[in-house]
Amino acid sequence: GIDGIPPIRLGPWLLNESSTVFVLIWLTVLAGWWFAYNLLGSRVGRTIRALRGGAVLMASFGSDAFRLRLTLFVLASGYATLAGWLFAHTHRYVSHTPFSLHASIDYVFMMVVGGMAQLGSALLGSTVYIGLNNFLQDLLPLFTNRGAQVNSLVFALLFLLILERMPGGIGRPLARLAAKWRKPRHINTELPVPSAALTERTMPEAGSLLLRVDGAVRRFGGLVAVNKVSFDIRAGEIVGLIGPNGAGKSTMFNLLTGTLALSEGNVQFLGQSIKALTQRQIALRGVARTFQHVKLRPAMTLLENVALGAHARGRCGLWRGGLGLDQEEEARIMAEAMRQLARVGLADRAYELAGSLPLGTQRLLEIARALASDPVLIMLDEPAAGLRLLEKQALARLLSALRTEGVTVLVVEHDMEFVMSLVDRIVVMNFGSKIAEGRPEEVRSDPEVQAAYLGSDV
C-alpha cells in the first residue's frame, strides 16, 4: 500500500475532516452529473445513445463509432480517476484490498439495481447499495456473528429479485413516473429560435452528372449478385432501380453506399471515385439513405431521431456538449429537424417516441432523418414495402415534392406499379444484370422486362 497521503488542500482550505471532504465529494458528484447530463442531451450524446442499437445507422450519417467508443472509454476513465483521487485523499492510504474482484461485483450490483437507461439510476443504485450495506453492517452483528455471510446472502437475494421482477432496475419505474409528470410541460415548450439556419451544401446544377456506375460487379463466392451493371444518375431526377426478388437491387444499393465493396468496376459520385471510401466517408459527401428494415431508435423522440441525421452538420464535440456551450448549434439542429419533420407531415408528433409509430410512418420518419443530413442524393431501399395503399400514395406525393425541391432520389423497389407513376427513369435488373433502362413507359413495354416479372407477384 501507499500511506502518508496528505489531505486535499484547496487554496486556503485544508480538507482534513470528514464533514469538509463530504461536501467536496458531493460537489464532485454534482459536477460529474451535470456534465454527463449535458453531454447526453447534446449532439454527441444523441449519437452515444443511438450507438446502443448498432453502429451502422450512425456510420451512414457520418459518425465514427470507433472513435466515439474510445472517447467514451477515456471519459469514463476520467470519472474513475476523480473518484480515485477523492478516495485516496480521504482515506490517506491506498492498497489493493478495496479494489478486489469483489469491487467489480459491487459495481455490477449498483448498475443492476439502479438500471442503466437513465442517468439518475447510477446514483440511485449506488445509494441503495452503500446505504443497505452500511445498515446491514450495523444491524447484523446484533443478531449473529456470521454477519459477512448473511450480508452476502441478502445482496444475492436482492440481486435475483431485481433481475427477475424489474429487469430495468428500480430506476425505470421511477423514470416513467417522472416522465408522466413532466410530459405536458415538455410538449408546450417552444424550440429555441436559432439566429441562423445550419449551413447547406451547394447543390449540383440540375441535369449535371451526379453518379456514374461503371461496370459494377459484386460476387459472393461463386454467386455473381451484381454483374457488370452501368448506369448514370443526373442531379434532380428520381431514378427507380427495380427487378424481381433476388435481382441484386439491395446489393447494388450497398455498393453505392459503401456498405459492401465492389469486386470489379467503379462508382463515381460528383466526378470522384468512391470505390475505396468507407460508408462514413460516402455519407459525408452527401449520400443519405433509408433502410429496408427500418432503423429507428424507438426510445428517442421523433425529433431526436431526425436530429441524428443532422449529425455531420454540427461541430460541437464532447467538451462543448458536456459544458452546455452548444446551445446555439443545438437550436439550429433542432430547428432543422423540426423543418424536416414538417416536410414529411409529422411535426405535430415531434415529441412522441419513435417506437410508437406504425411502419408506414416510420418509413416517413427515416426519410425526414435522411433529409436532415442535407443530402445531394437520397437513396431509399424498398420504401413502399409493407405499406398500405394510402401510405404508398402519401409516400409517392412526398417523393414528388422532393423532386420539385431539387433533391435527387434513387428508389430501389420491388413493386413496379409504385415506381411507374413516380420516377423519371428506370433501371431494371434481373439475375444481377441490367436488362433494361429508360422512361417508365418504354420499360413497361420491354418484352424482356415483362418476362422477368411474369410469375413474380407484381
Q: Which residues of this chain interact with ligand ADP, rule CB under 6 A?
A: 220, 223, 225, 243, 245-251
**For ligand ADP, the closer CB: 60 or 251:** 251
Rounded (5°) CA angle 351-353-356: 130
**For Mg ion, the closer CB: 245 or 450:** 245
Nearest distance from residue 250's CB to Mg ion, in Å? 3
Angle between the 43-51 and 302-309 helix axes, to the nearest 10 degrees? Answer: 100
The yes or no reply on residue 254 touching Mg ion (CB under 5 A) is: no
Which residue in 266, 264, 263 sits closest to 211, CA to CA?
266
**For ligand ADP, the closer CB: 240 or 248:** 248
- Tell me which of ligand ADP, Mg ion, none is bound by residue 223, counting a contact when its beta carbon lies within the kind-specific cut-off of 5 to 8 angstroms: ligand ADP
Q: CA–CA separation, 50 vs 308, rounded Å?
A: 8
DSSP 153-183: HHHHHHHHHHHHH-TT-THHHHHHHHHHHHH
The yes or no reply on residue 47 touching Mg ion (CB under 5 A) is: no
Q: Give, as one character, the DSSP assignment of residue 197.
A: P
**For Mg ion, the closer CB: 250 or 362:** 250
Nearest distance from residue 436's CB to ligand ADP, in Å? 15
- Collapsed DSSP state (helix, strand, coil) of residue 14: strand
| Neighbouring residues of 146: CB distance < 8 A, sequence distance ≥ 6 | none
Q: Which helix (H) or strand (E) holds 137?
A: helix 119-139
Nearest distance from residue 223's CB to ligand ADP, in Å? 6
Nearest distance from residue 217's CB to Mg ion, in Å? 18
The yes or no reply on residue 250 touching Mg ion (CB under 5 A) is: yes
All 3 cell numbers of residue 301? 423522440
- Tell me which of ligand ADP, Mg ion, none is bound by residue 309, counting a contact when its beta carbon lies within the kind-specific cut-off of 5 to 8 angstroms: none
**For ligand ADP, the closer CB: 233 or 334:** 233
Q: CA–CA separation, 419 vs 400, rounded Å?
A: 11
- Collapsed DSSP state (helix, strand, coil) of residue 346: coil
x-or-dash string of contact with Mg ion, 403-422, rule CB under 5 A: --------------------
- Tell me which of ligand ADP, Mg ion, none is bound by residue 246, counting a contact when its beta carbon lies within the kind-specific cut-off of 5 to 8 angstroms: ligand ADP
- Tell me which of ligand ADP, Mg ion, none is bound by residue 243, counting a contact when its beta carbon lies within the kind-specific cut-off of 5 to 8 angstroms: ligand ADP
CB 405 within 8 A of CB 315: no
Name the one range near Mg ion by CB under 5 A: 28-36, 250-258, 363-371, 434-442: 250-258
**For ligand ADP, the closer CB: 244 or 360:** 244
| Bridge partner residues of 241 (DSSP) | 412, 427
